[in-house]
Structure 1
Amino acid sequence: MTDLILSFAVTGLNCASCVGRAETALNAVPGARDVRVNLADHSARITGVEPDVVVQALGDAGYPAKVSHLRLGIPAMSCASCTARIEAAAQAVPGVLRAEAKLPTRALHVEVLGNGDGLQAALANAGYPADQTEGETEEKDRVQPLLHRFLLSLILTLPVFAMEMGGHIFPAFHHWIAGTIGMATSQMIQLILTALVLVGPGAGFFRRGIPGLLSARPDMDALVALGAGAAFGFSAIAVLFPNVLPPAGVYFEAAAVIVTLILLGRWLEARAKDHTGDAVRRLLGMRPDEAEVEKGGRFEQVPLGDVRVGDTLRVRPGGRIAVDGEVTHGETHVDESMLTGEPIPVLKRPGDTVTAGTLASTGSLTYRATHVGQDTVLARITALTEAAQSARLPVEALVNRVTAWFVPVVLVIATVTFGLWWILAGLGPAVVSGVSVLIIACPCAMGLATPMSIMVGTGRAAELGVLFHKGAALQHLQDAEVIAFDKTGTLTRGTPVVTEKMGDEGCDFLRLAAGVEQHSEHPIARAIVAAVEDIPAETTDFDAILGEGALATVDGKQVVIGNAEMLQRAGVIPSQDWLAQADIWAKTGTTSVHVAVNGTHKGVIAINDEIRPGAAQTIAALKATGRRVAMISGDAQDTANHVAQTLGISHVVANVRPDGKVAALNTLRDAYGPIAFVGDGINDAPALAAAHVGLAVNGANDAAIEAADVVMMSAEPGAVLRALTMSTATLGNIRQNLAWAFGYNTLLIPVAAGALVPLGGPQLSPQLAALAMALSSVFVVTNALRLRGKGRT
């Protein structure tokens, strides 16, 4: 693609110097030609370079290219074969970085450099025109039209079926038709009614399938069009030109019934698929349309979109919190189960945070808006859930490889079947056998097997407060052989308090320590600050060492706080008395913080962090699954040992820095296999990223959430068990669906081809093949919906 021309927007351009630097970065890319960067409209143009290279080059230069994220509805997407062709057509458009077609929602997700000019034309040329309105094609918009098409097809098909098959079932009925309207008239009526079925409710199969055949990209619609069209065409010639073909009967009922049953299957499938989006709809339904906002000293109802950060809002008993905020007045218990999965309401008082969508119980609250619109927790959860539902798991690669060649192979099998039966039994049986193979082999169930389970499983997980931030985690989590936990804030509450101090009574070392720690967000730092009323205001030269401590100049004194290694790093000789006291405290699970002032060890502070309720039960349940449980902590060995012993954890790694946590994970991985790590702090981010699967708990900072693969809205350890349960249940459901879909096709294609007939066995008729194919897809969707009842521990 050396002649590829890209035109796109560039951000960060403020002056001619910016333009020069951006052009220099683009010209440095191998193969780049005709580079132009325009300051007036903040655009760029380049020839001869792939879009991903352009994005990388400009990003490194500090002038990111604008990447658009588009979602286009593709109504013609009907099976797994379609997704590969749609993605290939989109990827061929200049500027497209990534394209993923989602069969359950019939939507194409595209990342494109620029505005995506030519994308819709390329899709139309490939036979898959996109809806003009961006966004996913909702299943509920398809249910009623499909029902109407099915009912119309059914009304037209019933007389055809009755006239043809009724005579076989009841010979007297056959004689009655022959003696009244005559067989020739009966067949002509069947021809007309079947033609109406094919050009009316069944027209879509031909409109989409025939172009696919002509362009050598056959899909499910092509198989239906071929099957129904062959049965109708053969029968029509036999009726209209009786001397052209040898006597072999007519099969109008086969063509009509095929279309009717497949429409029935697609309607049932659409109805079931509509429920897969229930999780996101329920999340969106938690958002009230209006909010009570204070204006001029009184509260008024205003549209939710008019609420701004800083506004004062009120929620009445039984009402929903409109936006994220901080309570300023009143108190009430708030039901947060719809977000966290935890059923027990939480008491909210002034100073506490409240989350949009949660439900106030008996009391009223006044709160100040801190996040509105797309910045609320509810909005971010909804976005994460939608992203997870459209994720593509590694297991889907196998399905895509199979379906890429499946339909062409089926066409070959159908052709061979038709030829053999024509030679051995005549034209009529050949048509029946060939049509049956085409219909039974439609790979719709294969394409739905994985994405339907993902949609329902991730939606159910979101209802339980578990967000699979990165799609592959849904598959990888169930593979974890070891579940490793951080201690502080994960197995413990993460809100430690100062319980004791010992040291030089002539030095207020606790106050000086608070002067240093006021610049840190670590839970231990917050505990020390909370224990002091008069915090020194004059603090300079603050510096923190991750995993060890911090130092600063406080009121003109050099203050060092942290563990013994931190003191030694600062050139302070630790006092043996205070080290011995720290050892005594450690045996009871107490964390010790040493304080040195002007180079002298002045004392030690005792800090305790309560173990979270339910932690021991969660650890026991995880061990009952056959997995190993470990704890990796930056705390002292004795402190970590005490917590681990209380919880029943045998493998403990303590006193480690953030990079030491990664090393500990690697050691566990080498010894036992895939590992999942559960953490919450910024110092856990490297370990969360390095683990096979990283799980960030509620309250985790942005760095931890970004590094994690799974985000749990509840801080309770039981959320880990729910995440593992949903991962295991979803992957099990996917395996069931794939086993059914592949097994069904593998077993029934030979039956449809008539391989068992010489042995005295059965052969599927086209009608039964259509029914079996339709019900197979319905089975896959219905089986996926069973996941809605999973996950509660």
Structure 2
Amino acid sequence: MVTAAATPSRSLSTCSVCGLTTLHPLTNKAGDVFCCPSCREVAALLAESPLEEAARSGRSLAPAQVQGRTDAVVLTLSGMWCSSCAWLVGEQLKRTKGVVDAEVSFIQGQANITYDSKITNCQLLKKRVRSLGYQATLPNETPRDEEESFYMRLLIGGVMVLHDMIVGAGIYAREIFGWATPESQPLVDFFQVMMLVTSLPVLILLGLPILRAGLASLLRGQPNIHTLITIGTFSAFGLSVRNLIAGHGDLYFDTATMLIFLVSIGRWLEMQAHKSSSQAVMRLLEQIPDEATIVTAEGDKVVRVAELRAGQRVRVRPGEKFPVDGLIATGEGDVDESLLTGEPRPVTHRPGDTVRAGTLNLDGGVEIIATAVGASTAAGQISRLLHEALWNRSPLERLADKLSAWMTPIALSLAAIAFLFWNHQSGVEEGLLVALSVLLIACPCALGLATPLTLWLSLGRAAESGVILRSTSALEWLAKVEKIFFDKTGTLTKLPMRVREVFVPSSPALLPKGEGSRNPPLPMGEGLGVREKDFLQIVGSVENESEHPLAKAIVEFAKANEVEFIKPVSFKAIPGMGVIAELPIPNNQLPIFIGNERLIAQNGLTISNEIKQRAESMREAGQVVVFAGWGGQVRGLVGLGETVREEARDVLHQLQSRGLSLSVLTGDEERAGRRWEEALGIPVKAGLSPDEKMSHLAGSAAMIGDGINDGPALAASTIGLAMNHGTDVARSAADVVLMRDDLRAVPWLFDLSKTAMRRVKENLGWAFIYNILGVGLAMAGLMKPVFAALAMVMSSVFVTANAMRMNKYPLLHQEESVVEQP
């Protein structure tokens, strides 16, 4: 009899990465022990992380210190399954040496990274993302079509899963109905091996990306959804291989493949939802043509739009889209501006009118002078605002991200508890199955989708209606607003205002040297006298430098009366009061003051009784009075009248019916304020400076305005809304820009915000209830892994479908007109 020779005993080593016992250890230069080359490679990647360095040295991570010039790059990411994946990538990038800041958007599938160019570069950052188990491409690279590739893998995987399910059903039916015979066992064994063979393509095509990302996140101590699916699926697969080799026990190949397939189906549905949510931005970019026809001395020439410069003359034929923003030089026609404003009706444009890039020239050939190209166009600016909105995450989004990040370790802990309990009660196999069900049920996919998808779809819907929100936070703030303050001029009234009267007294002379005629003033209906023209030339020349709506109305009136302007030597706007300037008039370099009575009083100008009486009569007629003076005296008056928007009273009534408190903040005098209070039916606070307007904006208040005076108030309010014709200052201070010059967008927007917040709350409520009930059933052993996976997918489908309902939210439609003030 031959006996086996005794072998010397030896101590078993433990892998420093995965913790498995190894008989043939591998080591690195540091002496760490690994069970296989893969674990050694993972350890090498980990060693590059500043987190690992900090852990070994016992020090905490400090913010990155910039040594050189900072650069920024936007990486396009693929392979992220939920917002917790985005959180993981963002956290790891922030811990990477040389990275100053990193923001990752799950919805956009992009990472916005600011880094120190002396320490790291784009390629190293790309490598860092790949080490986490995700794909990354640089802006100058062509990303692989993830959607098409994923669809093909899903199709092949689906065929394999169908095979496993059919074979599995036959084997189960054999046991249930007593069809098992010794003669059929070899055939059963063959089909069981075939289940193993057909499950491998599913695990490789659909499961390998999940395994790679799940392992990377687990080894970094930041488990995510990939980790949960990896542990669950490959536990079921490993148990099945063990039972197949042992020749006894149940096989779960069909369960493992079905889990991967169902999760992948959920991912596919999310990809479609994300594509839909970004359509508003993509539609803007796609509508701007690549080429344009410029008019040169040699004739027409076709060039790329990227080569155009402001000031060039561009020809646009009927049926073509405008390639740039510009002013019409010759020709006229109807233009479809629905891309920018949401207004379905064509707008007729004539020489001197502004047209926007991306809008459609329906009829009539025109030539335009380019004023803005590329990113400077209205379409480019709107696209930029929408992109920025994704990076400005709302408090609700940040809360959902934190909850998703916490859910994964909680799920792992609950699964471990379930395994220990059921392993003690019914054995290791039952323990693994119950733990697998818990892992799948507790996946935070629905929680991560609940908020961002709803908010971004709402942003897109608003953009389609001509309402641009700077951030998703704006929707949250709008839903909480209790008070709304309106600016009057240009907001509740229709611009432009019109000059109704110019008054110049018979004496004193307009200029110190007596230039100008002493002809008496003529009635406005009969034309301007010479003295009024002299006065209007001075006032118009100064106001031509201002962006205030009143100034623009005066300038237009002066132009209509063929007044020639003089370029001021100096110009200064005084918010809430008026302007001060000097004109290069011979022997007259005195400051010229144009504005309200407060500006005049503050600078010590006297007002004659004749002018006071005329100003009083103008106010009695409901006009806004502009004083103009120099040399210590007021020289004349300009009276302007306003028209109330036709929709204003109806809009105010709608907002009041929603329980909102409404007020008007205006710089008009008290008497004019009382007239407007009677006309509009809401409180009017008159005679306010910009600082005084800000003092009224306490609490959850929205400010709606458009003029240069409103910039501080728009910035100080909880949320500021700027009308389309507002100045750049107002737009930069506003959280919302109404591209359509129509107040009906205001109640529509408030309704949209409340609907969006209701959808978010529904989704969050569903996600919490689903997780609490589902985890309870799974831990009690009442839910099989396949049904747990199906429940997880259906939960994500429910949240996605509920969010997608925002795509059906009605767009803003209206008829735009005005009625004269009585």
Q: Shorter chain as normaliser: what TM range?
A: 0.7 to 0.9
Tell me, yes or no, if structure 1 residue 700 matches structure 2 residue 721: no
In 2, Cα distance between the equivalents of 1:522 and 1:659? 17
In 1, Cα distance between the equivalents of 2:293 and 2:69? 38
Q: Residue 112 of structure 1 aligns with which residue?
A: 115
Amino acid of the structure 2 residue aligned with 1:599: G
- Select the residue among 607, 611, 633 that pairs with 2:666: 633
Tell me, yes or no, if structure 1 residue 522 matches structure 2 residue 548: yes
Q: Residue 42 of structure 1 aligns with which residue?
A: none
Give 1:70 deviation, angstroms.
1.7
Q: Residue 76 of structure 1 aligns with which residue?
A: 79
Contact 1:725 1:791 (8 Å CA) reproduced? no
Contact 1:564 1:574 (8 Å CA) reproduced? no
Structure 1 194/525 Cα, relative in aligned 2: closer, same or farther at 3 Å? closer
Contact 1:168 1:174 (8 Å CA) reproduced? no
In 1, Cα distance between the equivalents of 2:219 and 2:797? 30
Structure 1 751/536 Cα, relative in aligned 2: closer, same or farther at 3 Å? closer
Q: Residue 641 of structure 2 aligns with which residue?
A: 608
Q: Residue 781 of structure 1 aligns with which residue?
A: 800
Q: Residue 144 of structure 1 aligns with which residue?
A: 148
Amino acid of the structure 2 residue aligned with 1:624: S
Contact 1:676 1:693 (8 Å CA) reproduced? yes
Give 1:663 deviation, angstroms.
1.5
CA deviation string 1:5-30 (max 9, x = no partner)? xxxxxxxxxxxxxxxxxxxxxxxxxx
In 1, Cα distance between the equivalents of 2:315 and 2:210? 55
Give 1:170 deviation, angstroms.
6.9
In 2, Cα distance between the equivalents of 1:49 and 1:80? 25
Amino acid of the structure 1 residue aligned with 2:273: A
Contact 2:322 2:355 (8 Å CA) reproduced? yes
CA deviation string 1:542-567 (max 9, x = no partner)? 44432222344554454433222222
Q: Secondary structure at the match of 2:492?
A: coil
Structure 1 185/538 Cα, relative in aligned 2: closer, same or farther at 3 Å? closer
Give 1:192 deviation, angstroms.
2.8
Q: Secondary structure at the match of 2:662?
A: strand
Give 1:592 deviation, angstroms.
0.7
Tell me, yes or no, if structure 1 residue 205 matches structure 2 residue 238: no
Tell me, yes or no, if structure 1 residue 159 matches structure 2 residue 163: yes
Give 1:393 deviation, angstroms.
0.9
Contact 2:77 2:137 (8 Å CA) reproduced? no
Amino acid of the structure 2 residue aligned with 1:295: T
CA deviation string 1:379-428 (max 9, x = no partner)? 11112112223431111222222222211111111111122122223333
Structure 1 409/552 Cα, relative in aligned 2: closer, same or farther at 3 Å? closer
Amino acid of the structure 1 residue aligned with 2:90: E
Amino acid of the structure 2 residue aligned with 1:660: E
Q: Normalization by structure 2: what TM-score?
A: 0.81
Tell me, yes or no, if structure 1 residue 183 matches structure 2 residue 202: no
In 2, Cα distance between the equivalents of 1:700 and 1:136? 39
Contact 2:451 2:763 (8 Å CA) reproduced? yes
In 2, Cα distance between the equivalents of 1:178 and 1:504? 120
Amino acid of the structure 2 residue aligned with 1:81: S
Q: Residue 594 of structure 2 aligns with which residue?
A: 561
- Aligned-residue Cα RMSD (Å) equals 2.8
Q: Residue 16 of structure 1 aligns with which residue?
A: none
Give 1:327 deviation, angstroms.
0.5
Q: Residue 309 of structure 1 aligns with which residue?
A: 310
- Select the residue among 234, 237, 248 that pairs with 1:232: 237
Amino acid of the structure 2 residue aligned with 1:455: W
In 1, Cα distance between the equivalents of 2:142 and 2:440? 26
Contact 2:497 2:640 (8 Å CA) reproduced? yes
Amino acid of the structure 2 residue aligned with 1:230: S
Moved more, 259-268 or 112-121: 112-121
Q: Secondary structure at the match of 1:263?
A: helix
* 1:502-521 alignment, distance < 5 Å: 502-506=503-507, 507=509, 508=531, 509-521=535-547
Q: Secondary structure at the match of 1:308?
A: coil
Structure 1 68/788 Cα, relative in aligned 2: closer, same or farther at 3 Å? farther
Give 1:329 deviation, angstroms.
0.9
Structure 1 49/208 Cα, relative in aligned 2: closer, same or farther at 3 Å? closer
Give 1:147 deviation, angstroms.
2.2
Contact 2:224 2:405 (8 Å CA) reproduced? no
- Select the residue among 686, 689, 694 that pairs with 1:654: 686
Amino acid of the structure 2 residue aligned with 1:592: V
Contact 2:498 2:553 (8 Å CA) reproduced? yes
Moved more, 266-275 or 525-534: 525-534
In 2, Cα distance between the equivalents of 1:480 and 1:182? 70
Amino acid of the structure 2 residue aligned with 1:161: M
CA deviation string 1:580-639 (max 9, x = no partner)? 443443344310112334323344321113223422222222222211222111222333
CA deviation string 1:279-307 (max 9, x = no partner)? 12211221123222213353343332233
Moved more, 426-435 or 112-121: 112-121
Contact 2:461 2:811 (8 Å CA) reproduced? no
Q: Residue 463 of structure 1 aligns with which residue?
A: 464
Structure 1 122/470 Cα, relative in aligned 2: closer, same or farther at 3 Å? same
Amino acid of the structure 1 residue aligned with 2:483: V
Q: Secondary structure at the match of 1:605?
A: strand
In 1, Cα distance between the equivalents of 2:283 and 2:807? 13
Q: Secondary structure at the match of 2:363?
A: coil
Contact 1:391 1:454 (8 Å CA) reproduced? no
Q: Residue 517 of structure 2 aligns with which residue?
A: none
Give 1:357 deviation, angstroms.
0.8
Give 1:775 deviation, angstroms.
2.5
Contact 1:588 1:642 (8 Å CA) reproduced? no
- Select the residue among 533, 546, 564 that pairs with 2:575: 546
Percent identity (aligned): 33
Moved more, 268-277 or 164-173: 164-173
Structure 1 270/536 Cα, relative in aligned 2: closer, same or farther at 3 Å? closer
Give 1:430 deviation, angstroms.
2.1
In 1, Cα distance between the equivalents of 2:181 and 2:327? 80
Give 1:252 deviation, angstroms.
2.2
Give 1:767 deviation, angstroms.
0.9
Contact 1:338 1:358 (8 Å CA) reproduced? yes
Give 1:183 deviation, angstroms.
3.4
* 1:102-501 alignment, distance < 5 Å: 102-114=105-117, 116-117=120-121, 118-125=124-131, 127-134=132-139, 141-169=145-173, 175=179, 179-180=183-184, 181-242=186-247, 248-296=249-297, 298-501=299-502
